[in-house]
Amino acid sequence: MNQQRPLPQGASASAANAAPVLNVGFILADNFTLSAFSLMVDQFRLAADDGDRSRPILARWQVMSSRPEPIRTSCGVTVAPSGPLADPANFNYIIVVGGLLHGGKQLDEESVAYLKRAARAGVPLVGVCTGSFVLARAGLMTGRRCCVSWYHYQDFLDEFPHHTPVADRLYVIDGDRITCAGGGGAADLATALVEKFLGRAIAQKSRHVLLLDRQRPGTESQPHPPIADLVADDRVRRSLLLMEQHLADPLPIADIARRLQLSTRQLERLFQTVMGQRPAEFYRRLRLRYARFLLDTTGRSVTDIALEAGFSDCAHFSRQFKAQHGFTPSDARARAPGPAAQSVAAHRLFE
């Protein structure tokens, strides 16, 4: 397997004859997710050369397949492989991009056998989107932490009851296995791989060209569905959506009731029955949870966060925050970036 090595002093993309520092092989599952693949491969492309010239100098990528036919994406577009399954030792990473879970068999037996051979050779394997399912089905995630999207969390538990999936992070690195929830997290993982082999400046250049904002670490929490999706009562669900849409400018409970064509007392009783608490109490906890999320994952001031979470002044926010969490917003900020703070940041905001 190619080992990481530093760039030579004064090296640039003009050294076209030099061996690439980062060499990546892709295996695309049938009905794979195009966005996850494109977000990764474009960062490798932009990192490989000066500007946007796309020469595979500092990095090289190859789409491998056991068959010569184009591979179909979940959106119907096809991608032609650039070559057959190559010697795994040629690559720093072999990345499996998954997609539709119920669209038929994702990989053929020859490709699965190839992944097992790569694992025996010690080549790091990466599962992106439902690529984690492909690796788990091949028996390559036994004893490893496995990151999946919140959307496929239950699917993974149903198929692999003896695994404990991680569904509150963007990606997880566990030795020579890396799994990524997919979506925008694929871009953040690609940045991390480029930075490891080619340096931060080149990694950031790729993101800037693609108009990608702040790089997120793998420990950052996945965006998640609103809690309203989990509530059966339509009136309570609509009230929750209104609350989530008005965190910075909280609506009076009477206004929410009026929009639902209910009296305030009717909404109070309904909310208590379905959610087990009064709507004002739930609304306040939701805003404080949002504030905690911002404290753990951004560098914004406590005052800015207080206003963003719908509190009229910092003192009122601090009192409410301490009453709920047992410590002040400043204390919460001082605890980061320790494991406890990261763990809280990874919790789903609207749980």
Same domain? 173 vs 122? yes
Query: Domain of 133?
Result: 22-210
- Phi/psi for 27 (5° steps) reads -120, 120
Q: CATH number of the domain that 145 lies in? A: 3.40.50.880
Distance CA 284, CA 257 (A): 17
Q: CATH number of the domain that 316 lies in? A: 1.10.10.60
> In the structure encoding, which two tokens stand for residue 308, read together?
């963003």
Q: What is the pLDDT of residue 318?
A: 92
Number of structural domains in the chain: 2
Give yes or no for residue 3 having a pLDDT over 50: no
CA angle in degrees (0–180, nearest 5) for 264-269-271: 90
Q: What is the pLDDT of residue 2?
A: 43
Q: Judge contact between 193 and 22, C-beta under 8 A.
A: yes
Q: Is there a domain that residue 6 lies in?
A: no
Q: pLDDT of 129-143, one tens digit each? A: 999 999 999 999 999
Distance CA 166, CA 145 (A): 7
151 or 336: whose pLDDT is higher? 151
Q: Is there a domain that residue 8 lies in?
A: no
Distance CA 160, CA 132 (A): 11
Q: Judge contact between 291 and 323, C-beta under 8 A.
A: no
Same domain? 191 vs 63? yes
- Mean pLDDT is lowest, of 11-15, 159-163, 169-173, 239-243, for 11-15
Distance CA 165, CA 152 (A): 10
Distance CA 129, CA 176 (A): 17
